[in-house]
Amino acid sequence: MKLLLVGGGGREHALAWKFKHDDPAVTLIAAPGNPGMAELAECVPVTATDVGRLVELALERRVDLVVVGPEAPLAAGLVDRLREAGVPAFGPTQAAAEIETSKAFAKQLMLDAGVPTAQARVFTSVLEAKECAREFGAPVVIKASGLAAGKGVIVCETLAQADEAIESMLVGNAFGESGHEVLVEEFMEGEEVSVLALADGTRVLSLVPAQDHKRLLAGDRGPNTGGMGAYAPVSLGARLGQVSRDNTALLREVETRVLLPTLRAMRDRGRPFTGLLYAGLMITADGPKVVEFNCRFGDPETQAVLPVAQMDPPLATVMLAIARGEGIPAGARCHTQGYAVTTVLAAAGYPGTPHAGDPIELPAPRADALVFHAGTRRDDDGVLRTAGGRVLAVTGLGATFAGAQRASADAASHVRFAGKQFRDDIGWRERARGA
Ligand code: AMP
Ligand code: GLY
């Protein structure tokens, strides 16, 4: 199979690793890729949002399948253009991608479909938004409606904080256009889980559930980021406080109450969703409720999920069948093998303006760790340097959770670059559950 992978982050590196791991004979082209992916794929210097060039590239190289990693090209209509050109593409159309790109659209969809989620209202007026925050009471959550790289959400402990957040978005332009419409949302109590599911418009194949660590600092303190680490599988049951080594019941509940009704509502709106549907869930006392949907693989969840996901048939085969409109192959399954803990190494300054250009020293290769590149570049002098907020993601693998956690923390501590930031407590909730 010849495959074009669009993107150049840690998630795309993990996808490239999975495709090669499943089938060493696969031919991979990455646009633009990154220095880590260059060991697995031919990297072509076309940016992930250059829709016209990407379509030309797919046609020139006669690829069998295009897999789109990030949300920006999906929001720009890359899949629509590829389909028009007759190229099978894995990912949602621009209209279906709105499930991520507009939180207001996603909320209304959930409301109409009866999908459990927090109560929320949309505002462009500061005064009305503040009134709503008072009606819900603190703690309350203020969100920029558009894309903000995972950073446009402020969980406010007090109404004064909520007022400040509303003003910063609607008046202070804190998130640009994305924040000119805000959601005021009821706070949900519980633990978070990310379920990544391959979707063919009607049916889903759920992968191993994962847990992300969105806060910058150990103990889940500090500002929200794009994600500082993740682990999979998660031994949570379908209710707050339940522990379960077997995720079957949790996944079935998420499929029945969340994923399948969402696909139905998307079909009803004439925007069938095919691709990867990511449900960010809060496991509350009343069961799973949706925090957000994403229209693509999670980052860094993918770097933890794919190494432990044993799929039959392999991932690329299922993606190709979905992209061709054949649907998820009958009997397709995903099992879990072992444990994975992913530690993100971020540059100095992240999640603000990251410092670029610092030389990176990687740890010696080891069997129990995978190093995925994200914000790195290799200069003409051959030196690997930092070139983004999240620089690397180190996934530790193990037959036990504790083993995977040790491998991840140890390998992460052996990566060197100036100002390196990382959390050494990824998976702490899982340990607290007795893993
Ligand atoms: P989002 O970008 O919508 O996933 O939100 C980022 C983070 O903010 C989530 O992962 C949660 O930790 C938190 N969050 C968002 N919405 C809520 C909510 N309604 N209740 C509690 N926490 C929330
Ligand atoms: N890790 C959260 C996301 O990919 O949006």
Tell me the domain boundaries of the chain: 2-93, 125-180, 191-432
Q: Is 385 in the pocket of ligand 1 (CB under 6 A)?
A: no
Show pLDDT as tens, one digit a residue, over the chain (435 residues): 999 999 999 999 999 999 999 999 999 999 999 999 999 999 999 999 999 999 999 999 999 999 999 999 999 999 999 999 999 999 999 999 999 998 889 999 999 999 999 999 999 999 999 999 999 999 999 998 776 655 688 999 999 999 999 999 998 877 776 667 899 999 999 999 999 999 999 999 999 999 999 999 999 999 889 999 999 999 999 999 999 989 999 999 999 999 999 999 999 999 999 999 999 999 999 999 999 999 999 999 999 999 999 999 999 999 999 999 999 999 999 999 999 999 999 999 999 999 999 999 999 999 999 999 999 999 999 999 999 999 999 999 999 999 999 999 999 999 999 999 999 999 999 999 987
Give residue 186 CA to ligand 1 midpoint distance, Å. Answer: 10
- What whole-number distance in Å separates Cα of residue 392 and Cα of residue 188? 31
Topology, domain 2-93: Rossmann fold (3.40.50)
Q: Is 298 in the pocket of ligand 2 (CB under 6 A)?
A: yes
Give residue 300 CA to ligand 2 midpoint distance, Å. Answer: 7
Q: Which of ligand 2's atoms lies nearest the C-alpha of 227? A: 1
Q: Is 150 in the pocket of ligand 1 (CB under 6 A)?
A: yes
Domains 2-93 and 191-432 share a fold: no
Half-sphere CA count of 214, side-chain side, radius 13 A: 16
Phi and psi dihedrals of 89, rounded to 5?
-135, 135
Considering only CA atoms, which residue is closest to atom 13 of ligand 1?
155
The domain 191-432: what is its CATH number?
A: 3.30.470.20
Topology, domain 125-180: Dna Ligase; domain 1 (3.30.1490)
Work out the number of other CB atoms within 10 angstroms of the CB of residue 138. 14
Quote the pLDDT of residue 55. 98
